[in-house]
Amino acid sequence: MLTIRGVLLERQAIAQRVEALGRQIAADLQAEGDRLQARGQAPGPIVMVPVLTGALVFTADLIRAMGVKMSIRPVTLSSYPGKSTTSQGVTVQGGVPTDLAGARVVIVDDILDSGRTLGLLRRLISAQNPQSVRLAVLLDKQKAAGRDEDVSVEYAGFVIADEFVVGYGLDFDGYYRNLPDICTMHDDGKPEA
């Protein structure tokens, strides 16, 4: 059975980093809007596309730190079904927004792991011809063997080692999302109850 081993990132460090990321994203969107206007183009609306359910907590804190006019269009994708601790491939469970042409889109996810989820979502959204697409993740998990899909993100809160983590929206079998810290887990050798 997997149990919590210890705290990897404390809530205060998470709060400070998410606040800084929100300000950075807002500043970059403002600069992009200014460049578009200088070229005689109207900046498109800002649309946040959080990947549910893992990015729920991160997105809530991130958008409060941004302070810009935006809409939120969540999408539900799954790559860690049930008690899996490794990505099992991406399944689209909730519809991807289809009206993003001309928008300035920020895809928000909890963790960049295999790259498959964010790679797929970026392709689906880019095919709609938005003005821009950015990726923001709370955690960028470093993989010794490399990712299944090479995906670069514009914004990453923290770089972490290749270990399974929970808390601050991240789960194991639907549990632990409500932990305020990000914690590592380990297998204690006991069978699941």
Reply yes or no on whether the pLDDT at 82 is more than 80: no
User: Band of the pLDDT at 60, cuts 50, 70, 90?
Assistant: very high
State residue 83's pLDDT score. Answer: 53
pLDDT at residue 76, as a whole number? 86
pLDDT in tens, 94-129: 678 889 999 999 999 999 988 888 998 999 999 999
Over range 59-78, report the average pLDDT.
93
pLDDT tens column, 133-142: 999 999 999 9
pLDDT at residue 26 tops 50 = yes
Distance CA 118, CA 166 (A): 19
Asked if residue 90 has pLDDT above 60, the reply is: no
Residue from 61, 109, 110, 113 carrying the catalytic annotation: 113
Would you state the pLDDT for residue 78?
Answer: 65
pLDDT reading at 160 higher than 90: yes
Is residue 129 classed as helix, strand or coil in its secondary structure? Answer: coil
Q: Which residues contact 161 (CB under 8 A, 6 or more apart)?
A: 141, 142
- CA separation for the pair 172, 51 (Å, rounded): 16
Q: Which fold, 11-163?
A: Rossmann fold (3.40.50)
- Residue 8 has a pLDDT of 96
Do the strands 75-78 and 91-92 form a parallel or antiparallel pair, or are they unpaired?
antiparallel
Residue-range domain boundaries for the chain: 11-163
pLDDT at position 77: 76
CA-to-CA distance for 46 and 61, rounded, in angstroms? 17
Q: What confidence score (pLDDT) does residue 174 get?
A: 87
What's the pLDDT band for 193 if we cut at 50, 70, 90? very low
70, 60 in Cβ contact below 8 A?
no
pLDDT at 40: 97
To the query of whether residue 113 is one of the catalytic residues in this protein, the response is yes
Across the range 156-165, mean pLDDT stands at: 94
Q: Which pLDDT belongs to residue 191? A: 46
